[in-house]
């Protein structure tokens, strides 16, 4: 959702030193302290390569307005900590103080089970596309089902890259004026956070069940390990061909698996499948023989993959 916001805001002068912090700052610290005790039912807000410290502060303020306290920041351009972010947070400085900083998006989402990417433009990917309201409801249901969930926001100027969106399980879009759909980062965070809050206040959703037992959704770190394993083996047999189509093929393949909402056990099983196929192809063990024929299967010319 974040798109260009125009001119850079002027630096805000630091407040004069005083014995007692401003009321808004005291209220912000108290709010964070009270919320942290029961913050397990919240999504994590992830800012990917934010460019202006002011916008990080506005995002923190929007989060605390809606009761969210978990912020992760990927490679902030102005470094960290950032005085401009603190100045614009207007009392929500405790959110910034507790924010976790990461060098890459993969590191920031490794422990999450579900990821929702916010974007203002179509991406040509076969992913669920939700309004912020529907996204809030689905996030509540996912968390109540035991998932750790992230809300991903991109750069102010360009939004999220396609490869970043490809890592998400679903996309959140807002049906704004098509002639002027741009939101700044703070607005985007506020809108998505508000819809999560409204869904949470509307009542707890039932936990997802598989086979009568609660299923533990796979963390993105586990899924990425499986997908890198699969990609490596497919690369070895020349699956991603022609080269100019390879990036899109990889994204499509990742999206297909993400749509399945795999559990941790399913991911481990799939890694075992890839390993078994690889070792069988190399003639290890008895996996290279066909049980039906009693011998090794005839070699076939591999079909050219279709994008």
Model confidence pLDDT, tens digit, residues 249-284: 888 888 888 888 788 888 889 988 988 888 876 665
| pLDDT higher than 80, residue 165 | yes
Q: What is the pTM of this model?
A: 0.64
Position 14 confidence tier, pLDDT thresholds 50, 70, 90: very low
Domain with residue 59: its CATH number is: 3.40.1280.10
**CA of residue 172 relative to chain centroid, distance:** 11
- Contact between 86 and 111 under an 8 Å Cβ cutoff? The reply is no
User: Pick from 168, 159, 177: which is nearest to 113 by CA?
Assistant: 168
Last residue of a domain, one of 159, 179, 209: 209
Answer yes or no: is 143 within a domain: yes
Counting the structural domains of the chain, the total is 2
Do 180 and 236 sit in the same domain of this protein? no
Residues 6+ apart with CB under 8 A from 222: 264, 267, 268
pLDDT tens-digit profile of 70-98? 999 999 988 888 899 999 998 898 899 99
160 and 265 fall within a common domain:
no
The tokens for 256 are 């297909």
Q: Which of residues 209, 233, 259 is at a domain's end?
A: 209
Q: 205 with 224, same domain?
A: no
**pLDDT score recorded for residue 13:** 45
Q: Is residue 303 part of a domain?
A: no
Give me the domain span that covers residue 238.
Answer: 218-281
pLDDT of residue 278: 84
Residue carrying the six token digits 């040509």: 124
pLDDT the model gives residue 101 = 95
pLDDT in the model for residue 216: 73
Given 209, 233, 261, the domain boundary residue is 209
Residue 92 belongs to some domain of the structure: yes
Report pLDDT digits (tens) over 121-149.
Answer: 766 788 899 999 999 999 999 999 889 99
- Would the CA dihedral through 217, 221, 222, 226 be positive or negative? positive
DSSP code at position 294 = T
């Amino acid at each position: 959702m974040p798109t260009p916001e125009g001119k850079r805001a002027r630096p805000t002068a630091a407040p004069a030193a005083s014995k007692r912090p401003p009321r808004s700052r005291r209220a912000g610290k108290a709010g964070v302290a009270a919320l942290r005790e029961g913050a397990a039912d919240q999504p994590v807000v992830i800012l990917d390569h934010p460019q202006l410290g002011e916008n990080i502060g506005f995002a923190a303020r929007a989060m605390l307005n809606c009761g969210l306290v978990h912020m992760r920041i990927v490679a902030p351009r102005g470094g960290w900590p950032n005085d401009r972010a603190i100045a614009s947070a207007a009392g929500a400085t405790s959110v910034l103080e507790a924010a976790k900083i990461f060098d890459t998006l993969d590191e920031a989402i490794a422990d999450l089970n579900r990821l929702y990417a916010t974007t203002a433009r179509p991406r040509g990917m076969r992913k669920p596309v939700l309004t912020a309201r529907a996204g809030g409801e689905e996030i509540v249901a996912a968390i109540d089902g035991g998932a750790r969930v992230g809300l991903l926001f991109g750069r102010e100027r360009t939004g999220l890259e396609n490869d970043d969106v490809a890592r998400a399980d679903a996309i959140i879009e807002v049906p704004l004026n098509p002639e002027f759909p741009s939101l700044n980062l703070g607005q985007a965070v506020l809108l998505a956070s508000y819809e999560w809050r409204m869904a949470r206040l509307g009542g707890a959703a039932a936990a997802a069940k598989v086979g009568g037992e609660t299923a533990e959704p796979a963390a993105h770190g586990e899924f990425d390990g499986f997908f890198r394993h699969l990609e490596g083996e497919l690369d070895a047999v020349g699956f991603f061909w022609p080269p100019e189509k390879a990036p899109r093929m990889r994204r499509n393949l990742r999206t297909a698996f993400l749509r399945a909402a795999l559990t941790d056990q399913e991911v481990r099983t799939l890694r075992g499948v890839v390993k078994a196929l690889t070792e069988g192809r190399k003639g290890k063990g008895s996996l290279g023989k066909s049980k039906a024929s009693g011998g090794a299967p005839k070699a076939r010319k591999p079909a050219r993959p279709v994008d």
